[in-house]
Amino acid sequence: MLPSILLFAFFVWAPLFENIRLSLYDAQGIRTIKFVGFENYIRVFSHPSFWPAFRNTFYYIFWSLLLGFWIPIIIASLITETLYFKGLFRVGVYFPNILPGLASVMLWGFFFRPGKTGVLNILLDKIGIEPFTWLTTPGWTIPLIVLTLTWKAAGSTALIYMAAISNINQDLYEAATIDGASPFKRFLHIMLPSILSLGKTLLILQIIAVFQILYEPLVMTNGGPNNASISIMQLVYKYAFQDYNYPMAAALSVLICIVLVALTLLYFKVTKNVDDAN
């Protein structure tokens, strides 16, 4: 009991409280000078990059739910239904996960380079299509970044779903097959309900993770063009490590925390109502 309390206090609670305290102070470096109340929060809100970053973060979540949430489920169900080379496919989808995060982001950077030297543009050129500007087209930036995220992370999430699917009682499948249910029907009526609760947890985890997206836009676009892909964590990074303005970084972190707690509560309330209705 005591060791775990000590660990929690040292690694979780202390930094958390210290962060909240710091956000209410004026500071030199991380040495607090005087109490300023909510001034840092007001400055965070009035910074011209705040609303673009806040809005973008929700775009990231939107696209990651559209692309990133369903793809692992589809991969998992397809691989489960596969009869031959199952192991090969399992390893295959997990493969991108072995790459270090930064390496994969930089690799995709080479793919998306505009002009004639980008890998995708070289491929387009082979079939006679003009080079495209990829990440530097504001409307495409966030979906493309989410695509690289999905490419990297979908495999590991799919493995978790596969584990859940393998726990489903095989008798159900047998019965359904005997009754003449198609693979799609089996997916809809057996598999989906069984992995629903797991899906809910993964969904909220995904939202929390994507809300904190940092290094992908930092490396691929540095938040550009013209703030089109700047994320809220990138602003925290900018305050802390470029401006050395730790109180503002702390204030923004507290705001992120509040938003995430609110989203989580809302989510559980909504899903609980749905469950109750069921």
Residues 154-193 that bind other proteins (CB under 8 A): none
Toward other proteins, which CB reaches closer, 36 or 99?
36
| Smallest separation, CB 193 to other proteins (Å) | 38
| Smallest separation, CB 151 to other proteins (Å) | 20
DSSP-assigned letter for residue 243: S
Please report whether residue 47 would count as binding other proteins according to CB under 8 A: yes
Q: Which of 13, 38, 95, 268 binds other proteins (CB under 8 A)?
A: 13
Q: How far apart are CA 194 and CA 15, in angstroms?
A: 39
Residues 245-264 that bind other proteins (CB under 8 A): 246
Q: Could you tell me the two tokens for 3? A: 């060791």
Please report whether residue 101 would count as binding other proteins according to CB under 8 A: no
Please report whether residue 5 would count as binding other proteins according to CB under 8 A: yes
Print the binding letters for residues 203-242 with other proteins: x by CB under 8 A, - otherwise: ------------------xx-xxxx-------------xx
**Alpha helices in the chain, H assignment, sequence order:** 2-8, 14-23, 39-46, 50-63, 70-81, 86-94, 101-112, 119-126, 138-166, 170-178, 183-186, 192-211, 215-220, 232-237, 246-277
Handedness of CA 8, 256, 219, 110 (dihedral sign): positive
Main-chain dihedrals φ then ψ at residue 116, nearest 5 degrees: -85, -5
Q: How far apart are CA 254 and CA 262, in angstroms?
A: 12
Q: Which of 17, 38, 58, 70 binds other proteins (CB under 8 A)?
A: 17
Please report whether residue 33 would count as binding other proteins according to CB under 8 A: yes
Please report whether residue 37 would count as binding other proteins according to CB under 8 A: no
Q: Angle at CA 23, nearest 5°, toward 56 and 209?
A: 35
Q: Answer yes or no: are the C-beta atoms of 150 and 73 closer than 8 Å.
A: no
Helix (H, G, I), strand (E, B) or coil at 27: strand
Q: Which of 3, 48, 87, 100 binds other proteins (CB under 8 A)?
A: 48
Q: Which residues bind other proteins (CB under 8 A)?
A: 1-2, 5-6, 8-9, 13-14, 17-18, 21, 28-33, 42-43, 46-49, 109, 113-118, 133, 136-138, 221-222, 224-227, 241-244, 246
